[in-house]
Amino acid sequence: MRPIAIHLPQFHPIPENDEWWGKGFTEWTNVTKAKPLFKGHYQPHLPADLGFYDLRLPEARQAQADLAREYGIYGFCYYHYWFNGRRILERPFQEIFESGKPDFPFMLCWANENWTRRWDGGDETVLLEQSYSKEDAYNHIKYLINVFKDDRYIKINGKPVFAFYRSTIIPNLSEYLSIFREEAAKENMELYLCRFESFGIGGKEASKEFNAAIEFQPFSYMFGEFINIKSLEYSRNLKERVINKLLKHIGFQEKVKNKIFEYYNRVDYDAYIDFVLKNYKHPTDYRRYPCVTPGWDNTARRKNKSFLFKENNPQKFGEWTSFHKNNFIPYSDEENLVFVNAWNEWAEGNHLEPCRKWGLQFLEAFETNIK
C-alpha cells in the first residue's frame, strides 16, 4: 500500500489572515487558546517533536517529510486553495515545488469551498468566494499541469492523482473535468481524478465522473449511519414530551440543551471504530480508497460548538489501520492508496504529528499496522 497523509499548509502568516483574524494569525493561534470543555477533555493539543513550526522554513518542511517517511507514510496530499486564479496559503507548497525539496512524494487536493467566518464558530460572512467557469477551468489546469510534471508527484500508471474536496458543489462539473482532461491530453498526459467522499454523499452515482473516490474520515457515509443509530437510541431513552416540558422550564433549559449537545457531539472513538469494522464494505461498483483518522476535536476552532471524539487512542487507531491493511484489495498494482486524515490538522484534533500527550504513539501504531 501507499499511505498518503492529508496536509494543511496554514502554519504561516499571510496578509489575508492578518486582515481577517488579526496580525500574525496562523493555525497555532487557535490551537494554543483551546480550553477543555469537561472533566478529562484533552485540550489544548500542543506539538511535541516538531514544535510550533513555521512552514515558510525549508527546515520545517524537511522535518515533516523525514518524520512521515520514518513511520511509513508514502507521501503528502497538500490542500490547494484556488479562487479563480488567486491562490491562498500557497507559499509552502510553491517553495517545495520550485526547490525540489523535500524529496518526498506529494499530490494536491483542491479545497474548493468558500472561505467564511463559520469555520471558527462565527457567521456565514464570505471572505473569499469560490465560483466556477470555463475560463477558470482552463487557467486552473494550466497551472496544475506544470505541477503534475514533477517527478515527485504521485501518479497511478503515469497518471497524476488530483482530488476535489467538494465535487458536488461544482455546478458545471462535467464541463470542468472535461476541460481538465482535454488540456492535459494536449500535453500527452492522462489524469487520475478523485473526489473526497464526505458529508454523507457517496456511491457510484456521485463518483461516476471520476476515476475513484477517497473516503474522508470521520465524516464518511459510515459516520452518517452511526449517528442515525445513535439518534434512534436517544429517542427511545428520552421521550420527546419530557424534553419539551423541560425546555419550557427556564431552570432546566440550558442543562437539557447541553445534555442533548453532549450526546450528539461527543462521540466515543472506540465505539465508532467498532461500528466501522463491523459494518464496513468495500464497494464493488466503483473505486474508493479507504481512510483512517487518529481523532477529531475542533474545539480550538469552534469552542463549545465543537464536535469531538472522546478517548481517541493509538491502540484503536492501530486496529483500524490494520483492518484496511488486511481487507482492502488494491484495484491494480498502483491503485493501492490509503489515506490518513490528517498529518497536521491541529485545530481539528486529528494529527499524526506528535503531541505532548501521546508523543510518537499514533505514528508507531500506524507504522506497525500498515506494514
Q: State pLDDT tens for residues 52-88.
A: 999 999 999 999 999 999 999 999 999 999 999 999 9
CB-CB contact of 2 with 324 (8 Å) = no
Residue 248 has pLDDT above 70, yes or no: no
**Per residue in 129-178, pLDDT tens?**
999 999 999 999 999 999 999 999 999 999 999 999 999 999 999 999 99
Residue 44 has pLDDT above 70, yes or no: yes
198 or 194, greater pLDDT: 194
Q: Where are the domains of the chain?
A: 2-223+268-370
DSSP 168: G
User: Between the CA atoms of 315, 317, 322 and 325, what dihedral angle is there, to the nearest 10 degrees?
Assistant: -160
Q: Which CATH number fits domain 2-223+268-370: 2.60.120.260, 3.20.20.80, 3.40.1190.20, 3.10.270.10?
A: 3.20.20.80
**In Å, what is the CA distance from 121 to each residue of 69, 112, 274, 300, 303?**
35, 20, 30, 10, 7
User: Cell digits for 250?
Assistant: 427556564
